[in-house]
Chain A
Amino acid sequence: MSERRFSQEDDCSSLLSRLGSDSPRPRMKYGGMFCNVEGAFENKTLNFESFSPQTQRRRAARTRTDGGQTVVYPSGHAQENYGKREVQRAARDPRRCSREGGCCSSGDRLVIKGGKVVNDDQSFYADVYIEDGTIKQIGENLIVPPGVKTVDAYGQLVIPGGIDANTSLHAPQKGLNPADDFYHGTRAALSGGTTTIMDHVLVEPGTSLLSAFDQWKETAEQRACCDFSLHLDITRWHEGLYEELETLVKDKGVNSFLFFMAYKDKFQSSDSQLYEAFGVLRDLGAIAQVHAENGDIIDEEQKKLLCLGITGPEGHVLSHPEEVETEAVYRAITIAKQANCPLYITKVMSKSAADVIAKARKKGMVVYGEPITASLATDGSHYWSKDWATAAAFVMSPPLNPDPSTPQYLTSLLACGDLQVTSSAQASFSTAQKAVGKDDFTLIPEGTNGVEERMSVVWDRAVSTGKMDENEFVAVTSTNAAKLFNMYPRKGRIAVGSDADVVIWNPKETRTVSAKSHNLTLEVNILEGLELRGVASLVISAGRVVLEDGKLSVTEGSGRFVPRKAFPDTVYKRIKARSKMAEARGVPRGNYDGPVHDVISMTKSVPPTPTTRGPPCPKTQPGPRNLHQSGFTLAGAQIDDHIPRRSAQRIVAPPGGRSNITSLS
């Protein structure tokens, strides 16, 4: 089914049919939409013409998804220049203007002078000229229009703005909304040098993916101060989701979906469901993410601990032991291997889980691991803190590992490329919210802060200790994430044509993390008191300076949704090649014509789904998906045929030739 769909993309009929929907077109070619920005690598040439169609398309896509808004600017007017349009827009809709990036603001044209431009592949001294929210020129002795604001970056690094690939700024837990929403969260992100966040849309079981996505996007567009993109968390997989997934991937710009292996009876997916889902995602060209913990074991352990009378936050870490994480990572990798689907493990918290990922990569699996701020900066000893509020602040799943050598270990793996992306898993709940679980650790809402400290933590732990160079730093904080999720080189690179999300990084400065001075509303910071070397001294988001001299000047709602295309090259090149190779072939044999034992027709009672690890997939399919069903209903009663594969009937009347000879009584 999906296979067919996929191949159809090359047909021009489908192309035409999609024109009306104004779906981003270049996906049909092999590259991601931004992969082939001409001149991205010849930094010094200026060729405005070549960029504008790209941005145009992007803009169009963006506008289109703006909940019900008609397409304002049809593509094709390449010459039309940004500023003008923005002004027009600004006049018409001030809110939108601010969201569309600071193009209309004074920070429109900027030149960054004297800094060392650091990309993931090389560093070089160059000036960077920014206009209309994109990087227009890179090089020395740039010819820039007069009256351009100059930013001095002498002795500092000019790096691509960070991409935080995992935040939950809007996902409620147990009915509680995070203390830091899109506004506070992105504000904190910007202050730490992160200019793009990728937030998780938690789709409550039973609700529509699309509506959840729209709701998230709308909220974020109103509140976010930096660009954002969205992952979708699928809490209950069933076949009927296919249509929605397809829409999301092809029209909405979502290419990553998270599945839970934990949270039994709530979000957990069984192995079968994961396998099916992974297969669908592969066909759609999306990346599967998993929250890898064995929910069954956790459930049992929680019961046991509560029985033992342990109700404090230490019960959380005791009931989520490292092995449970490792086991699930291993299983997820196995499933992904079988389904030939790229896999992204969110929140790698323990050494052994990281090892499993590293080993799997050595065996050639397409798997990526994401340690988070907390796991890189601190450990789980605080769960035993005498102060309940402190202990509870650390509660997250998988939990921080009590082994104090974990951060170093994860940093090392990050440095050598076995882990690829750093994120924050930001999900902050105030102490009062956490106190919901004061008598039962299983009720404590899970989540820690980290979006603000992420870049500094990586710099402090990895670069300033000599484990990692500055290029690798850029890779793990932004470039890798951009590549994996198909935002490259729009994001994650300082190159002509890229978005002007630029951070001027001061490696010499230090700052001390404290709840008093951080930009979140949270009253406990899990990294409290930590002194971190490496600070973002100036942050440019979408061409506007948002942080300068320690002062934040953000605009609520200025963040834009960044749509992401399916089939990211970094991930899918190998997957595609393997799909071709994976064709298994049967052995052509003569018919077996020896005696066949008669078997008693055993009515195989299919026991009521003993194996579903999570909720069973309801076969009721909302919406279309009609091709299959209609085909089946015609022939009648075939839906059941799947289930009792071993019934004796099949033997007696094999689908081959001999069915008429050996008929069972």
Chain B
Amino acid sequence: MSDCRRQWNREDELPVYLAGPITTGPNQRKSFGMFSSVEGAFDSKTIDFDNYAVGRKGSRTPRSGSRERLLDTGDPVGKTPSEPREGSLTNSPGDREDARTGVEVRFSTEKESPDGKNERLLIKGGRVVNDDQSFYADVYIEDGLIKQVGENLVVPGGVKVIEANGRMVIPGGIDVNTCLMKPFLGTQPVDDFLQGTKAAIAGGTTMIIDHVTPQPEDSLLEAFERWQEAADKKACCDYSLHVDIPQWNESVKYELELLVQEKGVNSFQVYMAYKDVYQMTDSQLYEAFSFLKQLGAVVLVHAENGDLIAQEQRKILGMGITGPEGHPLSRPEELEAEAVFRAITLGNRVNCPVYITKVMSKSAADTITQARRKGSVVFGEPITASLATDGSHYWSKNWAKAAAYVTSPPLSPDPTTPDHLHTLLACGDLQVVGSSHCAYSTSQKAVGKDDFTLIPEGTNGVEERMSFVWDKAVAMGKMDENQFVAVTSTNAAKIFNLYPRKGRIAVGSDADIVIWDPDSVKTITAKLQQSASEYNIFEGLECRGAPAMVLSQGRVVYEDGNLQTQQGTGRFIPRKPFPDYAYQRVKFRNQVKCVDFQNGVTRGIYDGPVYDVIPTPKYITPAPSAKTSPTSHQPPPIRNLHQSNFSLSGAQIDDNVPRRSGHRIVAPPGGRSNITSLG
């Protein structure tokens, strides 16, 4: 596991990539986006199997996080992209295939395709919808990749054909915000990576980006590895990980650097809320933003003013309000909007892209809109809950129901909020739809039955996400299907540097495809959902639009209501820093700003009289410094010259540690070493 990550930046050296032009390895992205210049992406009717033949082997592996490991073990043939990475229940690929054929009856024949393991699929007669255009075309999939897009494709025999019958063929959804493993006082959400990704697939989402949420004292790296391990075992669809930064200090910086450069994480969340737990001061935020910008990461911000929330919570508890209605009362919309405004200001100052997670209110969304008008590089992410329902339910007489809606920022009680957010999504002022899926059972929520501040926060939504956007935006005529694709997958892929591997139907992209049925109508209910949570906050809502078929990694995983997922098939998708979509403007502004700043005014030296100032003792705030780790105060570990001198005389190895011990002074490395010999 860890070795594979170590290898990850070595891939440039791997000769296997030289073989195929469509290798799609992230290494190519360095030139200009890995797919943007793939030759033949648009004249997809030509087939050059030779091209693929080699590329297939190479291309199969690069996108799987496990590729490098596989190459290390020298057994690339036995592995397919759909292979579980680790700890899958089955051992050999053959076994697994057999097990799967049992489930996917329809596909049993195709399993026996010449390759033996690779599926070959042809989606016929569908309308391919990307974020920029829609066109009628067939899509040919092989080895988990889209190999051809076009009409009258020449495909090998024995290919399974799916008749799309004119329905939309869209890139699989990307849910950029899930918390499937976020611990709450030692317990886990009821939807883990298995349940959560199953629900995602059932809703047409073929990739999730989950939040790694370490506790303030934890190591980010360890937490990341824990998450990755759990996800590798359980996830049924591809995933990637954001890492939340619970506190800011020097040691975090080192870990962040590692995460970005070696682990394939390019997005980190910081908190402006949760006072005394995760909250950072503005100074820390500024530092964090600056640092993350240097790394080329996207900064995700949980934007709420934690100071005021703490005060309001105290006040409301003091008033005797302990039920879930206290939650929205203590977190009014203004606090969200204020924090969004502040985050954007910080982002502007640092010149760093800012991504606001969970836009829940009109005013927060408007703040983002206005900032974008002024040119800020800021992205906003409304979530399923804010797009489909409102906060009136917090006042429900049923405690369990009211508690189920508890998330923060809370749902706005204003019933026009969903409509407004959809409008902004449609016009591009908000870019990405997440779900912030974090499902806790009612009994877990009941921990806060006498104190709303203890209710674990999180709602469901991963399963309903795509359908609600369709229902409330596309079906209402606010949004066209292309924009639908953009907000559900393409934009997310671009912001987080997954594009065009994900988020597009194009030759060379991953075969994460959804055949969307705009006419299907379903009523959402907890009884029929995939998620394990017993309460669905959208209970009873009717919703048009649903996936008719979902392909993940080239395999049909959902068809007509039947899930055919397999635990552990999800791969970790590493993401490179400096996503073009977020960083291009930032880079240019950097140059401009540098020029600006170099324009200091050259003046003659002031030679007039100068007042004498009595030095006043400056008051130093003790607070923030207490959080910085003590490591920052340690002297830099240089001075090897000294050390070599010492090792000869023995027992000096320990001397490294207490660098400030009096020893060094007594026995300086210079002349007197032979006089005062130790021991």
Q: Which residues of A pack against B, CB within 8 Å?
A: 174-176, 205, 264-266, 270-272, 275-276, 294, 296-297, 299-301, 305, 308-312, 314-315, 318, 321, 323-324, 326-327, 330-331, 334-335, 337-338, 384-389, 391, 430-433, 435-436, 438, 443, 584-587, 589-592, 594-597, 599-600, 602, 604-616, 642-643, 645-646, 648, 650-651, 654-656
On chain B, the residues within 8 Å of A642 by CB distance are 314
On chain B, the residues within 8 Å of A608 by CB distance are 623, 626-627
* Known interface pairs A387-B603, A596-B447; A435-B611 also in contact (CB < 8 Å): yes
Q: Verify if B496 is at the interface (C-beta below 8 Å from A).
A: no
* Known interface pairs A276-B311, A614-B621, A656-B450; A606-B276 also in contact (CB < 8 Å): yes
* CB <8 Å contact, B447 and A611: no
Residue of A266, A323, A597 near B187 (CB, 8 A) is A597
Docked Cα-Cα span, A7 to B615, in Å, equals 47
Residue of B310, B349, B627 near A323 (CB, 8 A) is B349
23 cross-chain CB contacts under 8 A = A175-B615, A297-B345, A297-B346, A300-B283, A308-B598, A334-B334, A334-B338, A338-B311, A386-B601, A431-B608, A432-B608, A433-B611, A584-B319, A584-B329, A605-B217, A608-B626, A610-B247, A613-B281, A616-B623, A643-B276, A645-B314, A646-B453, A651-B450
Kindly provide the distance from the CB of A565 to the nearest chain B CB, expressed in whole angstroms.
Answer: 28
Q: Verify if B287 is at the interface (C-beta below 8 Å from A).
A: yes
Docked Cα-Cα span, A602 to B450, in Å, equals 18
Which B residues between 320 and 359 are near A, CB-CB below 8 angstroms? 320-323, 325-326, 329, 332, 334-335, 337-338, 341-342, 345-346, 348-349
* CB <8 Å contact, B275 and A338: no
On chain B, the residues within 8 Å of A655 by CB distance are 450
**Contacts between the two chains (Cβ within 8 Å), count:** 257
* CB <8 Å contact, B281 and A650: no
Docked Cα-Cα span, A599 to B619, in Å, equals 42
Kindly provide the distance from the CB of B279 to the nearest chain A CB, expressed in whole angstroms.
Answer: 5
Docked Cα-Cα span, A590 to B310, in Å, equals 27
* CB <8 Å contact, A324 and B305: no
Q: Which of B20-28, B199-207, B396-404 forms contacts with chain A?
A: B396-404
On chain B, the residues within 8 Å of A435 by CB distance are 606, 608-611
Kindly provide the distance from the CB of A201 to the nearest chain B CB, expressed in whole angstroms.
Answer: 18
Residue of B277, B398, B613 near A176 (CB, 8 A) is B613
Kindly provide the distance from the CB of A406 to the nearest chain B CB, expressed in whole angstroms.
Answer: 16
Docked Cα-Cα span, A604 to B276, in Å, equals 10
On chain A, the residues within 8 Å of B656 by CB distance are none
* CB <8 Å contact, A594 and B286: no
Q: Verify if B104 is at the interface (C-beta below 8 Å from A).
A: no
* CB <8 Å contact, A589 and B185: no
Q: Which of B37-45, B252-260, B438-446, B474-482 forms contacts with chain A?
A: B438-446
* CB <8 Å contact, A432 and B623: no
Q: 1/0 contact trace for B409-450 toward A, CB 8 Å?
A: 000000000000000000000000000000001111011111
Number of residues in B with C-beta < 8 Å to the partner?
94
Main secondary structure of the interface of A (DSSP, over half): loop
On chain A, the residues within 8 Å of B325 by CB distance are 586-587
Q: Verify if B216 is at the interface (C-beta below 8 Å from A).
A: yes
* CB <8 Å contact, A436 and B611: yes
Q: 1/0 contact trace for B573-606 toward A, CB 8 Å?
A: 0000000000000000000000001101101111
* CB <8 Å contact, A301 and B279: no
Question: Which of B282, B286, B287, B443 counts the most A-chain CB atoms under 10 A from its CB?
Answer: B282
* CB <8 Å contact, B186 and A312: no
* Given A315-B600, A321-B349, A596-B449, 18 extra CB contacts under 8 A: A175-B616, A205-B619, A300-B286, A308-B597, A338-B311, A338-B335, A388-B603, A388-B606, A391-B601, A432-B609, A435-B611, A438-B605, A587-B325, A589-B398, A592-B400, A597-B444, A610-B280, A648-B185
On chain A, the residues within 8 Å of B497 by CB distance are none
Residue of A266, A331, A609 near B342 (CB, 8 A) is A331
* CB <8 Å contact, A265 and B620: yes
Q: Verify if B622 is at the interface (C-beta below 8 Å from A).
A: yes
Q: Verify if B646 is at the interface (C-beta below 8 Å from A).
A: no
Kindly provide the distance from the CB of B480 to the nearest chain A CB, expressed in whole angstroms.
Answer: 32
Docked Cα-Cα span, A590 to B342, in Å, equals 40
Residue of B275, B283, B311, B398 near A299 (CB, 8 A) is B283
* CB <8 Å contact, A330 and B603: no
On chain A, the residues within 8 Å of B334 by CB distance are 334, 337-338
Residue of B598, B601, B610, B626 near A436 (CB, 8 A) is B610
Docked Cα-Cα span, A55 to B95, in Å, equals 100
Question: Which of B280, B332, B447 counts the most A-chain CB atoms under 10 A from its CB?
Answer: B447
